[in-house]
Structures are given as structure tokens and as C-alpha cells.
């Protein structure tokens, strides 16, 4: 029988051979696309849809889709070798292409890289300096902000003023947002510096079938190329910690600890507005949702009075492109990336100084959209707007705001689960999991669709019908509601929640029974509700039983099932096993491989859509350290998930860390060590972890769950 | 707990809480069940089911409580929760007049659609936000009731006791003003409901709709108990 989550594998786990993708992507196309966006001075190119403007000294690059919906821009290749290989089909190379989701075709290109001014840092982590031609430049080198060149499909071209742009520079004050060269710039500069000599950046196009377990072989060339001096250096302090020696002048994440502080409301006279705007602009991340009619729906930061102006500007900009049927996907201003996603009547905007890639931000926006669907269902959403395009969605969404915010904050803190779109499971012995699965199956009642046991935020067991799988994006919504947002848990008692799981069926509601079992409260009186727990520490102890049905009247049936289930789990010792496993927490890297220089890693099993990782402690417990780690993982992930010919093996050295990413057909592996760790040490560490993973696979992951 | 001595007859009573969003339904339940209060309680999603025992002199009542979500989008699910309920707590926020309007709608809907003998209590919550001397006599005959103007004294009351009380009397509802925050009158509401449930409609079983049909009879359809004072603190819930 298949694993519990098979069939729900997101398409991202599909892989195609390079020959296919190259067929869709001929060299001519490359050339053509290249013309569109990458000509050094393409201001007269009538096909250009990339609108670059010089604004108050900061560059804004706007990427759009062409009217035909084709990608207007080529994903810039991260590496010379790769670019060459890519344009020479028929070399018999096998390249695994990541297909990120069904929306592949709509998947926007990454915006062009901002230009690299001399002496200043580049935003492009791995962009080799040898290809200046690929750096985007302002295509209209006109100083005045108002003048804008635009081409129409009928070949006409016009100059006209766009008040919206002025509005950006004034009220959004992009220059303000980007002053101080925000987050990613500083550390990325160091990365790209170290990568300029080609020795530190490696990639391989070796057939992936040979890759498993032979990382060292793949990296051998690079290792030989090391200079003696480097070898000498690298023998020192291999075990240093990442992000430890960060210079004092690296203020990139200095205010990140205030990221989640609430901004006060604008007072009645608007006197504090100025000061609130300063706080507002200091945020690293913004998420805004508005209707296409310009009604604000949600903003992570700032109250309505503070954001109204921005919402207006955003609506103007997006609608301007929409009217031309030319969908705006995003733009970059200084160190700030704006990603835009349009779903029917809704506009989603993410504004980030944290260095995520365009597609990563877009995935985050998609999760927010799914949360809205989860509250309303698609037909209701559509109907609301078709009846009244001017609908104020805040009323119908009442109460969803906290769920959106906890999702948003999960992304801002950095979530391995969201990044990898995979689940984490609680590690228990295979035989123990077998017993738990069977107990679920035995106690199952007829209304049950899905049953889950979750402990410490990790999945212990799933029961599901053979024909239906559980999609990770649906589970993300459930986990967010139950474990990140406070509402449900804090209420005590048992809950009966109507919920739409969009990936399962976006047209209707399911009914979710939720009960938190107090781990420290053994006897039957435990349905005397445990007192609420607000501490973060307590969160990890909770065991939740989640039973989902299509029948809204089945609460008591599922409650009886839960009582039966808990009784059985106590009787057969499983409850004790779960509790022990939860209280042990995740092992540290050195528990897994004694003496390893690795400080942290992520391992995703692609077939199981599950991942595992060691504990964040002791090195990444603070919010900022954890964010740095997650930013690094985001970079590695972005480089290995670009649309065309992504890198399969990546070794990334920077001033404060060294890291390795390794993607095969079976797994994705990312690991991080201190800056002085040699490539050999990293490779060896990675090999050992992967060997451990193979050994422990059936404990770490749910393979073959309870299916009925 | 006080489960020690002679086994008193014990029966369960289904209770549903209804009322506009954010009036404090969940907070009242949290106070009753856990004797706790949270300053920033998140809105309920769907409904929460909780139980709590209430010891009366002659018997033990086990409340099976449905704390429903007040947000509009969940309104259509409400019948599922009040359908078999023997009692209902309809809550408004006494600093928010519109919430009393909503409460009246709920009362009307219950009278139309719920079991005929249902015991309904109207509860004005957030009494702590008024500056009245709330000590002994929260229902007292304060004459300074029309309160809207008193805000500079920190009095946020917008619904006078007299107005709500007279409405409750008209409709034959129990009536209390409470504060989930300070705990004032919270246990009293539940005790009063426990006492008001007619002996005949009490059965031991929990099963959905168990004690419905037979025991609930004609004349109980208006259990008129306007004098909560007599059963307040003295035989309060020992929980
Ligand atoms: N001052 C004061 N605040 C209260 C009182 N009761 C509740 N609150 C606050 O009012 C807010 C809403 O309370 P809830 O208990 O969540 O209200 P609810 O009726 O359950 O709301 P929904 O679940 O959305 O229907 C919370 O911030 C509570 O802290 C009270 O007696 N006094
Ligand atoms: Mg509530």
C-alpha cells in the first residue's frame, strides 16, 4: 500500500528529463527573451515589457507577463557553466527539472536583477560578475519620473505620465524603505564575493541516478581546485558556528526582533502618524490583501488609517497593468522585493526585505489565498464579488485575520515546512507507528474522512480513505489554525470547526473535530478541560486528535471515536510512547552524527512529501539567528529550484557560514556549518547524515500509513 | 472535587451560548469552567464543547456546554447547537447597544425554533467596565441607569439595567449582569439555570436528543424565574 500521503504529492515532486524541457525552451527563444529584458540598452525595443525606471536613485524593475501570457523574461541563469550547457541540447545530459506546482505555466519569472553599482553589494547571491550583460539596466534612461515608454501590441508607442509612479516614490517611499541597504545585501555581498572565484560554486550535471550516496565524487573536481592557502585556512576551526562572527556593522537584521511588535492605531487627530510610519517602514515584511476595486481586506501591519494610502497606490499600480491585460507580477526596489499575486477579485502583495525569491513569496501569498478560501469557499468568494464588485470582504472574513497573521508570521520567522512544502513527522519506531495506525483504523467510525494524531506540532499518524490523500497545503492550514494561532487551543474543550480544505475541495466545508489531550493528565477526568497554556514551551507537549468528516452532525460520533481512540492508545502503551518521543524533542546534529561540523540540516523525502531536521538549539534559538539560518535555506532552495536547469549540488560559502544543497530524485538536502568548515568536511558530514537518514527512514517518516 | 459523599442524583443539561461576536461568551465559559480570564481572547471558530459539573443541594448537574461563535458567518450553524438544548445563555455586551438588539433576535429565534421548554438566561456581560459599585447588588435598583453620558467617569455602560431587565421579564427570561473578567455573577447564572431546569426534563443520559420528547411538557414552556436573587450564592455551584 502506498504511503499515507502519496497521491497528494504536490507536482513539485514530479521531475522531467531535460530533453523535454529543452524542447520547450530552444536557444532561439533564449535569444529572443534575452532581447526583451537583457539588452544593455533596450529602450527602443518595441517588444519590451520590462519597465525599468530610475527613481530617486533607486532602481525599480517591473516584470510583467506579455499579453499572450508568455513569460516576458528569462530566468537568469545562476551560473555560467549552466547557461552554456543549457543552450547545447543533445549533449546527453540528464538534468532533473523541478516543476514547481501546477501553476508552472503561470509561474512568473524572477524579476531582473537590480544593477550592481560598483563597490556596492549585489542582491544576486550567485550571479557571476563575468556576465554584466545579464544585469538589468534601466531601459528608459530618462531622469524624469513622469515619462514612461510603453509599447502597445499594435506597434504604437507612447510617452505619457504615470502619476502612480510618482505616488510610489512619495508615499511608498521606496527609497526610504531601502535605505541602509536592508537585509540581504550585506551578507549576500560576501557570498558573491567568495563565489566569484569559481572554485567555491560547484554544480553538477551528472546523471542523478548516480548521485545518491556519492556526493564526494561529485564535488571532487572542486576540491582539487582548492588553493593550498585555502586548504591551510580551512583546517582551522572547522567546527565554528555559523553567524557567529557577524560584524557589528552588519545591521541587516538588527530590528528584526521588533518585527512582530504591533503598531498602534492612528489617533483621532492623526498626530502620531509620522511616528507610526517610521515603525511601519521598519518592518521587514508586509503582506497586504485588497480587492480589485481597491477595498482593503488585510494588512499584517498598521491599522486602516495608516495603510489606506498604500492600498490606494497598490491598487492603482496593479490595475494599471490589469487594464492592459498585462499582469504585474512584481518588482524590486533597492533591497525590497514586491511580489504580486492576483486571484480573481483579490490582489495579494508581499513586500519583503528578507531576500526570499519571487516564487517563494508567491507561494506564501498563495497560502494566504488558501486561508481565505478555507474560511469562505471559492463559490462564496466568487458570489460575493459577482453580486457586488465593491464588497467589503472584511466582514465575511471576520476572525480570519488572526489566522492570516499567524501564517504571515510563520513565513517571516522562516518555516522549513512552508519552504519545502512538506510535513514533519514525529520519530517513533516502525512497530510503534504500526500499532498507532491500527488503533486509528480499529476505532474509526463511519463518518470519518481523515483522522490525524499530532504531537508537538508533528504528525504521528494519519488515517485516510484510499482514494483521498491529504495535501500539504491543507495540512498547513490546519496546523496553522491549531498550533500557531492561539484561539482554538486557548479555548479549552473540544472544538467543532467548519473548514474548507481548498486542495481537497474548494467548494464546500468539512467539519473538523479537535481535541487536545493533556499529556500530563492521565486519567479519564482529562475531559475536565486542562487549563490553558500560553507558554511557548508547553506548546510542544500537546497531543491533538483531529478527526475530519463531511457530516456536520457527526460531532458526537467523532467525540466517541476520540474517547475510544485515546482509551486504546493508553491501554496499548502508545500514548506513553508518543509522550516520550515528544518530550525528547528533536536530536541535535551531533546526536545524529557525533563530531559533525554540521550545525543544522533539512532533509526532505520527495516521495513522502515529508521532511526532518535536527533541533534549532543550541545555535539557532534566537529569532534573529533562526531567521539567518532560514534565509540561507531560502537562498539554497531558490538556487536549486529555478525554473530552468536548476543547480543540483551547491556549495555556498560566505563570511559567516558555509552551506551545501544537494537535490536528487529522492530527496532534497540542505545543510549549514560554520564559515571555516571545508568543503570536504561538509561533504563528509552530509554523507553521514544521509546514511543515517536511509537507516532511520521508516522511523522518521510515515511510510505506508493507515488507509481504509 | 466534592464527589466524596453520598451519590446525589446526577443529570446532564445541555446548554448553548449565543450572542454577538466578542460579547464574552467564551470568557464566561472559561470563567465558569476554569475560573480563568484572558484579556485578549481570540474569536471562537465554529463552536467549542465543554463540560462542567454544578453541585446543587439535591443533585449534581453536569453542564454540556456549546460555546458558539458569534460571527455572522457561523450563524447558519446555530440551530445544530440549540436544537436539543435545555438551556441557553444569550449574552450581550452592556457597553454595546447593538449587541442587545442581536440578543433579542436570538431570544426570538430560540422561542420559535428551540425545544419548547428551553430555559433562557439573558446576560449582560462586561459589568466591570461600568463604574457602579458592583459589590453586592449588581441587579440593584440603580436609578441612574441611562448611562450613555457617564463616560468621563470611566463608565462605559450603554445599556441600562432597567431596559434589559424589563425586556427579560416580558419574555420570561432569567436575567443577570456579569463580568467574566472579575467573575461577578458568573457562577450564579449557571446555578440559576440549573435550578430552573424542570425536574421532569432531567435524565441521566447524554445521548443527542435523549431526554427530549416525553419529559418536556406543555406548561413548562414558560419557566418564569425572574428572581435570581433567591437562588444565587447560597446554593452556588461547588466547582
Ligand atoms: N472588560 C471585560 N472584557 C471582557 C469580559 N468578557 C470578555 N471580555 C473581553 O472581550 C473580548 C471578547 O471575548 P470573547 O469571550 O472571546 O467573546 P465571544 O463572545 O466568545 O466572541 P466570539 O467567540 O467571537 O463569538 C476578549 O478580549 C475578552 O477578554 C468582561 O467581563 N470584561
Ligand atoms: Mg467565543
Measured CB to CB, residues of chain A less than 8 Å from chain B are 375-376, 395-396, 398-399, 402, 481, 485-488, 490-499, 512, 527-529, 531-532, 552-553, 555-556, 559
Instruction: Output A13 or B192, whichever has higher pLDDT.
Output: B192
What are the φ/ψ torsions at residue A321 (nearest 5 degrees)? -75, -35
Closest CA to A495 of B206, B66, B34: B66
- Binned at pLDDT 50, 70 and 90, residue A244 comes out as low
A-chain residues near B41 (CB < 8 A): 490
- Binned at pLDDT 50, 70 and 90, residue A225 comes out as very low
Closest CA to A62 of A78, A48, A41: A48
Q: What is the pLDDT of residue A687?
A: 93
Residue A159 pLDDT > 80? no
Q: What is the pLDDT of residue A650?
A: 87
At B129-162, the pLDDT tens digits run: 997 654 444 444 444 444 444 445 568 899 999 9
Instruction: Output A192 or B49, whichever has higher pLDDT.
Output: B49
Q: What is the pLDDT of residue A237?
A: 52
**Helix or strand or coil: residue A570?**
helix
Mutate which of B18, B24, B31, B34 for ligand 1? The one with the most ligand atoms within 8 Å of its CB, which is B24
Candidates A396, A405, A478, A493: best to mutate against B (most CBs of B within 10 A) is: A493
**Helix or strand or coil: residue B179?**
coil
Average of per-residue pLDDT values in chain A? 71
- Binned at pLDDT 50, 70 and 90, residue B4 comes out as low
Task: Give the list of residues 6+ apart from residue A558 with CB closer than 8 angstroms, or none.
Answer: A445, A447, A448, A513, A547, A549
Which atom from ligand 1 is nearest to the alpha carbon of B178?
31
What are the φ/ψ torsions at residue A174 (nearest 5 degrees)? -60, -35
Section A519-524 average pLDDT: 50
At B186-237, the pLDDT tens digits run: 999 999 999 998 877 766 544 444 434 333 333 344 444 444 444 434 344 5
Section B80-105 average pLDDT: 96
For residues A642 and A109, give the distance between their C-alpha atoms in angstroms, rounded to a whole number: 9
Q: What is the pLDDT of residue A42?
A: 35
Q: What is the pLDDT of residue A642?
A: 85
Angle at A621 between CA A617 and CA A626, to 5 degrees: 115
At A176-192, the pLDDT tens digits run: 333 333 333 333 333 33
CA of B99 to the centre of ligand 1 (A): 12
CA of B219 to the centre of ligand 2 (A): 33
Min Cα separation A247/chain B (Å): 40
Closest CA to A672 of A243, A348, A335, A305: A243
Q: What is the pLDDT of residue A688?
A: 94
Section A461-470 average pLDDT: 90
Mutate which of B41, B43, B75 for ligand 1? The one with the most ligand atoms within 8 Å of its CB, which is B41
Closest ligand, as measured to the CA of B134 = 1
If phi > 0 it is left, if psi is from -120 to 50 it is alpha, else beta; for residue A7 that is left
Around ion ligand 2, residues with a beta carbon closer than 5 Å are B 25-26, 44
Q: Name the residue with the closest Cα to ligand 1, atom 27.
A: B40
By C-alpha distance, the chain A residue nearest B206 is A556
Q: Is B157 in the pocket of ligand 1 (CB under 6 A)?
A: no
At B157-189, the pLDDT tens digits run: 999 999 999 999 999 999 999 999 999 999 999
Asked whether this complex has an ipTM greater than 0.95, the answer is no
Residue A53 pLDDT > 50? no
For residues B123 and A75, give the distance between their C-alpha atoms in angstroms, rounded to a whole number: 62
| B116 class by beta-carbon count within 10 Å (0-12 exposed, 13-18 middle, 19+ buried) | exposed
The structure's pTM equals 0.72
Q: What is the helix (H) or strand (E) element at residue A382, kind and residue range?
A: helix A378-387
For residues B9 and B202, give the distance between their C-alpha atoms in angstroms, rounded to a whole number: 10
For residues A612 and A6, give the distance between their C-alpha atoms in angstroms, rounded to a whole number: 17
CA of B38 to the centre of ligand 2 (A): 12
Amino acid at each position: 500500500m502506498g504511503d499515507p500521503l502519496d497521491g497528494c504529492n504536490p507536482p513539485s515532486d514530479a521531475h522531467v528529463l531535460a530533453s523535454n524541457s529543452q524542447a520547450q525552451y530552444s536557444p532561439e527563444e533564449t535569444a529572443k527573451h534575452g532581447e526583451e529584458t537583457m539588452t544593455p540598452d533596450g529602450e527602443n525595443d518595441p517588444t519590451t515589457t520590462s519597465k525599468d525606471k530610475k527613481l530617486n536613485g533607486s532602481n525599480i524593475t517591473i516584470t510583467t507577463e506579455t499579453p499572450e501570457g508568455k513569460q516576458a523574461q528569462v530566468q537568469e541563469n545562476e551560473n555560467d557553466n549552466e547557461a552554456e550547457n543549457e543552450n547545447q541540447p543533445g549533449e546527453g545530459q540528464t538534468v532533473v527539472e523541478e516543476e514547481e506546482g501546477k501553476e508552472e505555466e503561470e509561474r512568473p519569472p524572477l524579476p531582473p536583477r537590480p544593477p550592481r553599482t560598483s563597490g556596492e553589494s549585489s542582491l544576486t547571491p550567485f550571479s557571476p560578475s563575468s556576465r554584466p550583460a545579464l544585469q538589468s539596466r534601466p531601459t528608459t534612461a530618462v531622469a524624469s519620473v513622469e515619462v514612461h515608454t510603453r509599447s502597445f501590441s499594435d506597434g504604437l508607442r507612447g510617452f505619457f505620465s504615470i502619476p502612480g509612479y510618482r505616488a510610489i516614490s512619495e508615499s511608498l517611499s521606496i527609497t526610504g524603505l531601502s535605505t541602509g541597504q536592508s537585509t540581504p545585501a550585506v551578507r549576500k555581498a560576501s557570498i558573491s564575493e567568495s563565489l566569484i572565484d569559481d572554485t567555491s560554486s560547484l554544480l553538477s550535471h551528472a546523471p542523478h541516478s548516480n548521485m545518491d550516496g556519492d556526493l564526494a565524487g561529485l564535488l571532487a573536481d572542486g576540491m582539487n581546485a582548492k588553493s593550498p592557502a585555502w586548504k591551510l585556512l580551512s583546517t582551522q576551526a572547522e567546527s565554528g558556528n555559523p553567524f557567529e562572527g557577524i560584524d557589528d556593522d552588519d545591521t541587516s537584521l538588527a530590528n528584526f526582533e521588533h518585527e512582530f511588535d504591533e503598531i498602534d492605531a492612528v489617533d483621532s487627530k492623526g498626530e502620531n502618524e509620522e511616528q507610526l510610519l517610521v515603525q511601519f517602514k521598519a518592518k521587514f515584511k508586509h503582506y497586504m490583501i485588497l480587492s480589485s476595486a481597491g477595498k482593503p481586506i488585510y494588512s499584517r501591519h498598521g491599522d486602516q488609517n495608516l495603510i489606506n494610502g498604500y492600498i490606494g497606490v497598490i491598487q492603482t499600480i496593479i490595475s494599471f497593468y490589469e487594464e492592459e491585460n498585462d499582469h504585474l507580477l512584481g518588482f524590486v526596489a533597492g533591497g525590497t522585493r514586491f511580489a504580486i499575486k492576483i486571484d480573481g477579485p483579490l490582489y495579494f502583495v508581499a513586500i519583503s526585505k528578507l531576500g526570499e525569491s519571487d516564487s517563494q513569496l508567491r507561494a506564501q501569498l498563495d497560502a494566504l489565498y488558501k486561508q481565505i478560501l478555507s474560511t469562505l469557499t471559492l463559490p462564496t468568494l466568487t458570489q460575493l464579488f459577482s453580486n457586488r464588485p465593491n464588497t467589503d470582504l472584511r466582514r465575511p472574513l471576520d476572525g480570519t485575520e488572526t489566522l492570516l497573521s499567524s501564517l504571515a508570521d510563520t513565513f517571516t520567522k522562516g518555516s522549513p515546512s512552508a519552504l519545502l512544502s512538506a510535513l514533519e513527522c514525529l520519530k517513533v519506531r516502525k512497530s510503534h507507528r504500526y500499532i498507532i495506525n491500527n488503533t486509528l483504523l480499529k476505532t474509526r467510525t463511519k463518518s470519518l474522512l481523515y483522522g490525524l494524531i499530532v504531537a508537538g506540532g508533528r504528525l504521528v499518524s494519519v488515517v485516510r480513505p484510499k482514494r483521498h490523500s491529504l495535501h500539504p497545503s491543507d495540512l498547513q492550514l490546519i496546523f496553522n489554525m491549531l498550533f500557531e494561532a492561539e484561539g482554538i487551543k486557548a479555548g479549552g474543550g473540544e472544538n467543532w470547526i467548519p473548514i474548507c480544505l481548498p486542495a481537497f475541495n474548494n467548494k464546500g466545508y468539512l467539519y473538523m473535530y479537535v481535541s487536545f489531550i493533556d499529556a500530563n493528565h492521565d486519567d479519564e477526568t482529562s475531559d475536565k478541560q486542562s487549563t490553558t497554556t500560553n507558554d511557548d514551551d508547553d506548546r510542544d507537549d500537546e497531543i491533538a486528535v483531529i478527526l475530519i468528516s463531511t457530516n456536520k452532525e457527526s460531532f458526537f460520533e467523532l467525540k466517541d471515536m476520540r474517547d475510544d481512540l485515546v482509551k486504546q492508545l493508553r491501554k496499548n502503551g502508545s500514548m506513553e510512547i508518543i509522550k516520550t518521543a515528544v518530550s525528547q524533542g528533536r536530536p541535535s546534529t551531533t546526536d545524529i552524527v557525533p563530531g559533525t561540523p554540521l550545525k543544522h540540516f533539512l532533509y526532505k523525502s520527495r516521495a513522502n512529501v515529508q521532511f526532518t531536521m535536527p533541533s534549532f538549539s543550541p545555535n539557532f534559538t534566537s529569532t534573529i539567528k533562526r531567521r539567518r539560518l532560514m534565509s540561507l535555506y531560502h537562498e539554497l532552495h531558490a538556487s536549486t529550484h529555478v525554473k530552468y536547469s536548476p543547480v543540483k549540488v551547491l556549495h555556498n560559502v560566505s563570511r559567516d557560514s558555509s552551506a551545501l544543497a544537494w537535490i536528487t530524485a529522492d530527496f532534497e538536502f540542505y545543510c549549514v556549518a560554520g564559515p571555516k568548515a571545508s568543503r570536504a568536511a561538509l561533504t563528509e558530514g552530509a554523507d553521514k547524515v544521509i546514511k543515517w537518514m536511509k537507516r532511520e527512514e521508516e522511523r522518521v517518516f510515515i511510510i505506508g500509513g493507515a488507509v481504509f | 472535587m466534592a464527589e466524596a459523599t453520598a451519590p446525589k442524583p446526577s443529570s446532564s443539561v445541555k446548554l448553548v451560548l449565543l450572542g454577538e461576536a466578542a460579547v464574552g461568551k467564551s470568557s464566561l465559559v472559561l470563567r465558569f469552567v476554569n475560573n480563568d480570564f484572558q484579556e485578549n481572547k481570540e474569536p471562537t471558530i465554529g463552536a467549542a464543547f465543554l463540560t462542567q459539573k454544578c453541585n446543587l443541594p439535591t443533585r449534581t448537574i453536569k453542564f454540556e456546554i456549546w460555546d458558539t461563535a458569534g460571527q455572522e458567518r457561523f450563524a447558519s450553524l446555530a440551530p445544530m447547537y440549540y436544537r436539543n438544548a435545555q438551556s441557553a445563555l444569550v449574552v450581550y455586551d452592556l457597553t454595546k447597544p447593538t449587541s442587545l438588539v442581536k440578543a433579542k433576535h436570538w431570544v426570538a429565534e430560540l422561542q420559535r425554533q428551540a425545544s419548547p421548554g428551553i430555559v433562557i438566561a439573558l446576560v449582560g456581560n462586561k459589568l466591570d467596565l461600568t463604574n457602579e459599585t458592583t459589590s453586592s447588588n449588581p441587579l440593584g435598583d440603580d436609578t441612574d441607569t441611562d448611562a450613555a453620558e457617564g463616560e468621563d467617569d470611566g463608565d462605559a455602560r450603554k445599556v441600562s439595567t432597567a431596559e434589559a431587565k424589563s425586556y427579560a421579564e416580558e419574555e420570561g427570561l432569567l436575567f443577570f449582569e456579569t463580568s467574566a473578567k472579575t467573575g461577578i455573577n458568573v457562577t450564579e447564572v449557571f446555578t440559576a439555570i440549573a435550578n430552573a431546569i424542570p425536574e421532569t426534563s432531567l435524565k441521566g443520559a447524554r445521548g443527542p436528543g435523549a431526554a427530549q420528547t416525553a419529559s418536556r411538557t406543555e406548561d413548562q414552556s414558560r419557566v418564569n424565574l425572574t428572581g435570581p436573587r433567591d437562588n444565587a450564592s447560597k446554593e452556588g455551584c461547588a466547582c
